[in-house]
Amino acid sequence: MRDLTIVIPAYNDAQALASFLPEVMQYCQVNGCRLIVVNDGSKDNTAALLEQYSQNPLLTCCSHKVNRGYGGAIKTGIKAAQTPYVITMDADGQHRLADIPALYDTLRQQDADMIVGSRMKHKEDLYRKLGKSLIRSIASLLMPMNIKDINSGMKMYRTSLAKQYMQLCPDSMAFSDTITLAFINYRHLVLEQPISVLPRLSGTSTISTKTAVDTVLEIFNIVMLFNPMRIFLPPALFFFLFSVGWGTPIVLRGEGVSVGTLLLFVTGVIFFFLGLLAEQLAAVRASLHQRQDS
């Protein structure tokens, strides 16, 4: 696997990395992989720990002066990658190195562009499970997809495509979801491969309700870039139908068209034409994107 780079974003993960990093380094040594660790403005001893391994030719250490966020750290790692394929893993030791060959083999054998490490068998508390289900349901309504674990942190990409689409994605935790949607929207082959998840070596998860809300908003943003009519058409139809249901009985009574009916109808028209305008802008953006690629 000399054509593969492992990217690990790290923020205040010195304790976990002290145990996990030697294991990753040994894996890279045996398999010929490259390793990029991005210190995302950590306030603990992460920088000092990485300095101990800085002379290893298989390791590249990148550092942010301030915390840019999970997505920002992954972007830096992907940008620094020089191999055809790249895989992202968390620094807390939850992802198993033993799962990498299965993702790698699936990507190569299926000629895929992204392999998502699916944690569907992983046990989670009810709150987080409901949150992830809600996010996936919203994403499925806005964009056709068959990927179940879109926010998995363990993903393998074709590096060239990841570099191409990562600028469309936020620097927050929502990066995992939106980069998957970007690949799906541009008709790249995205597959899932089951993985196992281990207990965290240290620390606690920073994912919260705010993270889920931010992710939903970013999903709306990314769909607005790709297919805005999916957002504007439902409310347009709602107001059209509401105006018909509201106004028809009044018209049948011979009282003419009410102000409320007109207001609902005009609101539907506004949403519809806003959707058409946004769709045209999305088409122009897609055309410019294709020209840049060629």
Output the CA angle 256-258-259, nearest 5 degrees.
145
Q: What is the pLDDT of residues 50-94, one digit of tens each?
A: 998 888 888 999 999 999 999 999 999 999 999 999 999 999 888
Q: Is the predicted pLDDT of residue 223 greater than 70, yes or no?
A: yes
Q: What is the pLDDT of residues 181-222, one digit of tens each?
A: 889 888 899 999 999 888 776 655 555 566 667 767 767 777
Asked if residue 58 and residue 179 are part of one domain, the reply reads yes
Asked if residue 217 and residue 165 are part of one domain, the reply reads yes
**pLDDT-derived band of residue 250, with 50, 70 and 90 as boundaries?**
confident
Asked if residue 123 and residue 71 are part of one domain, the reply reads yes
**Domain range enclosing 254:** 229-293
The whole-number pLDDT of residue 85 equals 97
Output the CA angle 53-94-188, nearest 5 degrees.
95
- The larger pLDDT score, comparing residue 175 to residue 208, is at 175
Amino acid at 188: H
**pLDDT-derived band of residue 267, with 50, 70 and 90 as boundaries?**
very high
* Domain end residue (candidates: 225, 255, 285): 225
Asked if residue 156 and residue 202 are part of one domain, the reply reads yes
pTM comes to: 0.76
- The helix or strand, by DSSP H or E, that contains position 114, with its residue range, turns out to be strand 114-118
The whole-number pLDDT of residue 212 equals 66
- Do 259 and 271 contact (CB within 8 A), yes or no? no
**pLDDT-derived band of residue 281, with 50, 70 and 90 as boundaries?**
confident
How many structural domains are present in the chain?
2
